[in-house]
Amino acid sequence: MEKSLAFITLSGFLLRWCVSLHPYSGAGIPPMFGDYEAQRHWQEITTNLPLKSWYVNSTDNDLLYWGLDYPPLTAYHSYLCGIVAEKINPDFVSLHTSRGYESYHHKLFMRATVFVIDILVYVPAVILFMKYVSRCSAVSGKYKHIYGLALLLYPGIYLIDYGHFQYNNASLGLFIGAVSFLMGGKDCLGSAFFVMALNYKQMELYHALPFFFYLLGVCKSQNSLKDSLFKLTAIGLTVLLTFVIIWSPFLMDKDVVLQVVRRIFPLNRGVFEDKVASIWFSLSVLFRIKNYIPNGNMALGCLLCTTVSMLPSSLHLFMSPSKLHFRYALVNSSLIFFLFSFHVHEKTILLATIPACLLMVEEFFVVMWFLIVSIISMLPLLLKDGLGLPTVALTVLTYLMFSSIESIKDTKARWNTQQILFVLSMMGLSALSIATLTLHPPPKLPDLFTVLIALYSCGHFVVFCLYFHYRQFTTSSVGYTKMKAQ
């Protein structure tokens, strides 16, 4: 088992570094460049300005030029990276003059910073999950390496982190760590890690309700009222203390805190980012939502739709807080947020695919299907970054890799109907991908193929969401350890 994990990990590292040799978001495209420049600029700002100025508009910090809009842990991470960058080459982060800085050595440095997060956070979290899930799962422990295969070799995350350029591996690594500790019954540790994930990227709100209702259900399930109150108090204090520690440098000034919150939740942005596979974009193809509903009203509408859609899964988890139901609820929550929430990016689908990987053994065929669709849903974004070749190659590799695995003996017998649908689905994805890569759209419809991919992917995500809800409500947790106090 250890040899298998070592091989999977090394293979993952090799594929990541191969992707890193390709272009990144906004390479050589002034004046804003892209996400690569955003991350570099945050290092510039945090290194050269006092902490109270990081989120505040000024002559030295123009918020219209990639202003910092992620929570404090991202800012601290940017600061640490900036300190190292300054020691290597001050030009990397010199105030004002480093805007749009691009060089071979800087690219190597930036790619290396992502690699370090994988080594320090993401990979250890995956190993931890494999350790704990094998203790509570009804599936044989000999299959636990398949979780690692999915989490470490799923191309979506490293196409974005090592290609497009972000640090999703940091927040998602902390998230996996949080789930892992909950799998092991270490609820306070799991709560602390989830708070850290949330304070690295606010999009971890996609997973917040399952954590809340699961932990509430755990407290409810204690042997006595005294035990329930004690556990609830311990978890509550852990969450509060973790928040206070992370935010403490900002808490000295109320105005600074409010500015950070405004930057983290910018309601002045649109309901979706570009042509994304969400419900709201799909509807906007027929009805121009942005032209008729103000942003404020749309944000409230998104909140209402997301909350109402979340209730069935959340209440079921509260009433039946098993480890298996918890993992299903994480997928359901993230898919609902992706489909219905306000201001969604194409790459946000990673917040649903990583939880799905945590069900890779239990739902091997459907999760494989979901992962492939998720990669193609990001194809238009990745093509803009010059990542078309690695995207197609890695998608094919993913299919070949997973289709060759006989993880559960009766997989073929159970999924005859689904296999037919899968083939039809792949035919559609292949046709759209080939058309996008090889054909020129009509002059009057320049975004035709991008829109078709978004609509096709959205239809799949709706079906996957319904399927995982069905599985959460109908799958028995018999054979799986209930979440009790340890």
Query: In 10 A of CB 418, how many CB atoms?
Result: 14
- Output the six-digit token pair for 424: 């039809």
Radius of gyration for the chain, computed over Cα atoms and rounded to the nearest angstrom: 22
Query: In this structure, how many other beta carbons lie within 10 angstroms of the beta carbon of residue 211?
Result: 28
Contacts of 246 (CB under 8 A, 6+ apart): 71, 72, 73, 195, 196, 199
Helices (H), 199-294: 208-220, 225-247, 254-264, 279-284, 289-292
For residue 135, the model assigns a pLDDT of: 75
State the 10-residue block means of pLDDT for the chain, 486 residues long. 83 94 92 94 97 94 94 97 97 95 95 97 96 72 83 96 96 98 95 98 96 96 93 97 96 91 81 83 83 79 93 96 96 96 90 97 93 96 94 93 64 66 94 94 93 96 97 77 37
pLDDT at 477: 66
pLDDT of amino acid 415: 56
Separation between Cα atoms, residue 334 and residue 356, nearest integer Å: 10
**How many other C-beta atoms are found inside a 10 Å radius of the C-beta of residue 288?**
10
Residue 320 confidence (pLDDT): 93
**What is the C-alpha separation between 13 and 443, in angstroms, rounded?**
42
What's the confidence (pLDDT) of residue 411? Answer: 47
* Rounded CA separation 294/310 (Å): 24
CB 386 within 8 A of CB 27: yes
Predicted pLDDT of residue 139? 60
- Position 274 scores a pLDDT of 76
DSSP per-residue string spanning 419-464: HHHHHHHHHHHHHHHHHHHH-PPPTT-TTHHHHHHHHHHHHHHHHH
> What is the per-residue burial (b if ≥16 Cβ within 10 Å, else e) of 188-198?
bbbbbbbbbbb
Compute the distance between CA of residue 294 and CA of residue 75 in angstroms, rounded to an integer: 31
CA dihedral sign, ordered 70, 76, 77, 82: positive
DSSP, collapsed to helix, strand or coil, labels residue 387 as coil
Alpha-carbon distance of 93 to 402, in angstroms, equals 42
